[in-house]
Every structure is written in structure tokens, then in C-alpha cells.
């Protein structure tokens, strides 16, 4: 069965989904995206993802073409048409097609909307430790915007891959910001630390849920700066994202973190995360 995607009002086979070369998403990376996991046919934290999409569109002055209900219905239809119970939904809204290539958008430009599914990489019962590399955060100063222009993230993630690592942990002046595709947490003496939300990090939906679950479990969370030195002396380091959930980092470059063991707080929160997912599935 071919993959069915939604493109500008139509459901079409992915191989037939075409946009103009004059689309501003293609020419300028002028657009916003979201990645939403779907478990057993149910979108995970959908309203939070749609709220972030709406906020990001607002920040770059692209009109949100749909209401929350319309988005929900579109996502459900794409998931149903692809008959995939566990999948990852990718939404992209670019500023749209414009007659001439011009940095300045004309007011009449109408957003291009794509909704498609791709295989879900998370959803495993097991926590999988990863190796990370520490890199300077070379990106711009609006990392809170989930922009489709991901060149900085791509360069960093590719450098990590070239170094045999599954993620890059980024820093600005030795202060940890986030991962190339994830948020960062450390644990020290039973307390969780994660960088506070600001223009240098994406406010991760998974990050927020982890904080919620930790607080429910009476584990203290402090949103504050983390120095690169603190990474190496932490009892636990993990990264989080919609596609990875919680990934323990047991090695950063040539340094082994916490004897290479997965920490007890990561294990506890991973369990709570799976239980939280199960309640959504059973609902
Ligand atoms: N990336 N920070 C960055 C730079 C990210 O790219 C992501 C997720 C996150 C975590 O956000 P969330 O928990 O909402 O997924 C943080 C997605 C999954 C991607 O680009 O595919």
C-alpha cells in the first residue's frame, strides 16, 4: 500500500505529492514543523504539539491555516489511511508559494500544508544507552522556533554521526543548551537539572512531560544552567525527544558517564513514561 500524505487539501500517494520550486519552504526554509508520536492510533500530547505549532507560526507571522479540531481530524485521517497504529506524524507548514523569489513575502501568500507519517523509532520497552559528543552550538538565536531551516542542527547531528555518536550535546560558552535533536537532562545527588526554556532551546514536549512525571514522583527538578563540566561529573545524563523518549547518555566523547550504567532516575521515569502512554492508549 502506498503511503498517503495530506498536501494542501488533498490526500495523495506520497510519490505523487508535489510542490512548486517557488514554494518558500523549498527556497528559503521558510516554515514550521512538528513531529507527533502516535501510539496504538492515539496521538501523544496532541494539544501540546498543536499549541507549540500555533505559537511558532505566530512568532514568524505565518497564519495557522487550521483550528486545533481541524488539525486533529487531518492527523487522524492520515494515520487511518496509512493503517499504521504506531507511527510518527510529521506536519509542515511553509509560508507557501509565491510567484517571484523574494525574501519579502507578499500578503496573499497561502501556507503550504503537508501531513505525513514516518516510522516511529521510540516505543521500546527497553532504555537504550547512547554515546554523545559535545559540540559548540553554532545555531541562531531563535532555537525556540521549530523552524524547518535545520542546517545548523543537521551539521551538528552529522558531525556526531561521523564521530560514532548518536547525538550531539551542544553548548554556548560552556553552558549546555540542548541536543542537536533533543533536550538535555542531568541528575546530581537525586536532583534533576535541565536548562531553562529560552531562545536557545526548543521547549520540548517530552521535556515538559518528564518534568511533570518527575514532580509527580516527588523527584526535584531544577531548570537552570548546566556547565559542560557538570555533564561529566553528573550521576546521570539523558536526552529526550518525541522520537527518542528518554535516552540515557553513558558516554560523552571519550568520557564514560557514571560508570557507563543507566541511572535509577532514568529507569524510574522511563517506567512512568510507559505507564503514562498506556493510560492514553487505554482511554
Ligand atoms: N526533534 N530540541 C531539538 C533541537 C529538537 O529537534 C527536538 C525534537 C527536541 C525535543 O522536542 P520534543 O520533545 O517536542 O520532540 C528538542 C524532533 C523529534 C525532530 O526534529 O525530528
Compute, in angstroms, the gap from residue 241 CA to the centroid of ligand 1: 5
- Which residue reads 558517564 in cell numbers? 257
Q: Is 126 helix (H, G, I), strand (E, B) or coil?
A: coil
pLDDT value of residue 124: 64
Angle value at C-alpha 64, between 61 and 87, nearest 5 degrees = 125
204 Cα: distance to centroid of ligand 1 (angstroms)? 6
Query: With left for phi above 0 and alpha for psi between -120 and 50, is residue 174 left, alpha or beta?
Result: left
Q: Ligand 1 atom 9: the closest Cα is on which residue? A: 182
Q: Is 146 assigned a catalytic role?
A: yes
Helix, strand or coil for residue 269? helix
Q: Give me the pLDDT at residue 123, please.
A: 61
Query: Helix-strand-coil percent breakdown of the chain, rounded to 5?
Result: 30, 30, 40
Please identify, by atom number, the ligand 1 atom nearest to the C-alpha of residue 201.
2
**Ligand 1 pocket test, candidate residues 53, 241, 269, most atoms within 8 A of CB:** 241
What is the reported pTM?
Answer: 0.97
The pLDDT value given to residue 283: 84
The verdict on the CB of residue 206 being under 6 Å from ligand 1 is: yes
Query: What distances in angstroms separate CA 74 from CA 6, 116, 243, one per listed residue?
Result: 8, 10, 21
Q: Which atom of ligand 1 lies nearest, measured to the CA of 208? A: 13
| Cβ(242) – ligand 1 distance below 6 Å | yes
Helix (H, G, I), strand (E, B) or coil at 250: strand
Q: Do 14 and 58 meet the contact criterion of CB atoms below 8 Å apart?
A: no
Per annotation, catalytic residue among 146, 216, 267, 268: 146
Distance 35 CA to ligand 1 centre (A): 8
In Å, how far are 67, 186, 195 from 7, measured between CA atoms? 17, 40, 36
Q: Is 247 in the pocket of ligand 1 (CB under 6 A)?
A: no
pLDDT at 2: 66
Best mutation site among 122, 146, 211, 242 for ligand 1 pocket (most ligand atoms within 8 Å of CB): 242
How far, in Å, is the centroid of ligand 1 from the Cα of 107? Answer: 30
Q: Is 182 in the pocket of ligand 1 (CB under 6 A)?
A: yes
DSSP 32-79: EEEEEEEETTEETTHHHHHHHHHHHHHHTT----S-HHHHHHHHHHHH
- Burial (Cβ within 10 Å: 0-12, 13-18, ≥19) of residue 65: middle
Half-sphere exposure of 250 (CA within 13 A, CB side): 11
Per-residue pLDDT of the chain (283 residues; tens, 9 = 90+): 669 999 999 999 999 999 999 999 999 999 999 999 999 999 999 999 999 999 999 999 999 999 999 999 999 999 999 998 899 999 999 999 999 999 999 988 999 999 999 998 766 678 999 999 999 999 999 999 999 999 999 999 999 999 999 999 999 999 999 999 999 999 999 999 999 999 999 999 999 999 999 999 999 999 999 999 999 999 999 999 999 999 999 999 999 999 999 999 999 999 999 999 999 999 8
What SS3 class is residue 235? coil
In which residue are the cell numbers 500544508 written?
113
Amino acid at each position: 500500500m502506498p503511503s498517503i500524505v495530506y498536501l494542501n487539501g488533498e490526500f495523495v500517494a506520497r510519490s505523487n505529492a508535489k510542490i512548486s520550486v517557488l514554494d518558500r519552504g523549498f527556497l528559503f526554509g521558510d516554515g514550521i514543523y512538528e513531529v507527533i508520536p502516535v501510539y496504538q492510533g492515539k496521538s501523544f500530547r496532541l494539544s501540546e504539539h498543536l499549541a507549540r505549532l500555533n505559537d511558532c507560526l505566530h512568532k514568524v507571522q505565518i497564519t495557522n491555516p487550521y483550528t486545533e479540531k481541524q488539525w486533529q481530524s487531518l492527523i487522524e485521517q492520515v494515520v487511518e489511511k496509512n493503517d499504521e497504529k504506531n507511527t510518527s506524524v510529521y506536519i509542515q507548514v511553509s509560508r507557501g508559494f509565491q510567484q517571484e523569489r523574494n525574501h519579502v513575502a507578499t500578503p496573499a501568500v497561502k501556507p503550504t500544508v503537508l501531513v505525513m507519517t514516518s516510522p516511529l523509532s521510540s516505543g521500546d520497552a527497553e532504555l537504550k544507552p547512547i554515546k554523545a559528543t559535545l559540540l559548540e552550538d553554532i545555531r541562531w538565536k531563535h532555537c525556540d522556533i521549530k523552524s524547518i531551516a535545520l542546517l545548523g542542527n543537521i551539521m551538528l547531528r552529522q558531525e556526531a554521526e561521523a564521530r560514532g555518536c548518536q547525538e550531539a550535546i551542544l553548548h554556548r560558552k560552556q553552558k549546555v543548551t540542548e541536543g542537536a535533536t533533543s533536550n538535555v537532562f542531568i541528575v546530581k545527588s537525586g536532583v534533576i537539572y535541565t536548562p531553562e526554556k529560552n531562545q536557545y532551546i526548543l521547549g520540548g514536549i517530552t521535556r515538559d512531560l518528564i518534568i511533570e512525571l518527575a514532580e509527580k514522583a516527588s523527584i526535584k527538578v531544577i531548570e537552570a544552567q548546566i556547565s559542560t563540566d557538570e555533564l561529566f561529573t553528573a550521576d546521570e545524563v539523558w536526552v529526550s525527544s518525541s522520537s527518542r523518549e528518554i535516552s540515557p547518555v553513558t558516554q560523552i566523547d571519550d568520557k564514560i558517564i557514571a560508570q557507563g550504567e543507566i541511572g535509577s532516575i532514568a529507569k524510574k521515569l522511563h517506567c512512568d513514561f510507559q505507564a503514562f502512554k498506556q493510560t492514553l492508549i487505554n482511554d
